[in-house]
Structure 1
Amino acid sequence: MKALRTFVLLTALLPGTSALAHSPAASPLTGRWTVDVSRLAMAPAARPKSVTITFSDPGQGSWQTQVDIVDAGGGKSHVVGIATLDGKAAKVEGSAEADAVALKMPEPGVLVMALSRSGVPASTRIYTVDVGGKTMTETVTYLGSDGLPFMRTNYFARAD
């Protein structure tokens, strides 16, 4: 199954290929997810107190992502983005990282998210739900200050 998922994901990303977009309502990604802050790749004192991602289907072929963060100092942020699953850019509100997002869902349990700010790539995130639907991983790619790419993985548990 993992090999098939990887093949479908890569096929969706290769030029000249296509993958069927899936209905947001049929996705096991739908719902609230909380990050395991103890596993974040940062110093414990810098880690946020909480990160919650909520994926939902607002209708009309769109997918909504809301991110609520309580940072280490207790400050709160709320980010909202609503986009279609066709890879076309849409507006993001409330984020220090991004002002635009593009989404693809090559299969119901996988979401590929590309983020940018002021026309400059910010990050790519791939969300994958486990077979049981109880945990989700987020693989994040960035360019470092040295211009080289790096990745990190965040681990989430279903909150609802």
Structure 2
Amino acid sequence: MKLLPKTLVVSLLVALTSLLTTAAAAGAANDVVPSRTATSPLLGSWALDTSRLPMPPAQRPRSVRFTFADAGEDKLSVRVDIVYAPGQEAHSASTVALDGTAAAVKDSPEADTASVKQPAPNVLVMALQQQGVLVSTRIYSVMPDGQHLVETAVYPGNNGPLVMKASYFTRVR
């Protein structure tokens, strides 16, 4: 696995810290408690709109579903269910504290560790690692209608430049 250049990792961390600081300050100014999942519009199940993926239809997964649930004590349960184009399935799960503490991810083809923060009720920032290496940072944002979720993912490309992509989800329940 190719490691990210140190300057790139530092730049990503500075940008993420700035985002979280700004969101936390805005939340504090409005008496918002950013770590409370009980009222978060993120909770529920979300289905990926695979038709919007930038790949040939035959290569797209058949389905992707994310489920976010309140796990109590300022923790979030995250489940990801994927059915790939050929029919293989992947089901991963984790329970993570909303304070950025690293937690194990079970059965994920992409990551073995996750850390999350919830700077606002409709936003979740997630960092994923595999064998101690940052593999992606993801920001989940629930749109004002409460029925649509956008995942913005940032990860290293094959030859070093960053890749940023958006994926679009619709609430299932």
Q: Quick one: which amino acid aligns to residue 37 of structure 1? A: T
- Aligned-partner Cα distance in 2 for 1:96–1:75: 12
- Aligned-partner Cα distance in 2 for 1:130–1:87: 23
Deviation, structure 1 residue 114: 0.3
Identity among equivalent positions (%) equals 43
Between Structure 1 and Structure 2, the one with more strand by share is: 1
Deviation, structure 1 residue 11: 4.2
Query: TM-score, normalised on structure 1?
Result: 0.88
8 A Cα contact 1:37 1:49, kept in partner:
yes
Deviation, structure 1 residue 117: 0.3
8 A Cα contact 1:41 1:152, kept in partner:
no
Between Structure 1 and Structure 2, the one with more helix by share is: 2
Match of 1:145 in 2: 158
Question: What is the aligned length?
Answer: 150
Q: How does 1:8-157 map to 2 (within 5 A)?
A: 10-12=18-20, 21-157=34-170
Identify if the C-alpha distance between structure 1 residues 18 and 132 changes in structure 2 by more than 3 Å, giving closer, same or farther: closer
Structure 1: which 5+ residue stretches go unaligned? Answer: 1-8
Query: TM-score, normalised on structure 2?
Result: 0.82
Structure 2: which 5+ residue stretches go unaligned? Answer: 1-16, 28-32
- Aligned-partner Cα distance in 1 for 2:126–2:56: 26
Deviation, structure 1 residue 25: 1.0
Deviation, structure 1 residue 150: 1.2
Q: CA RMSD in A?
A: 1.8
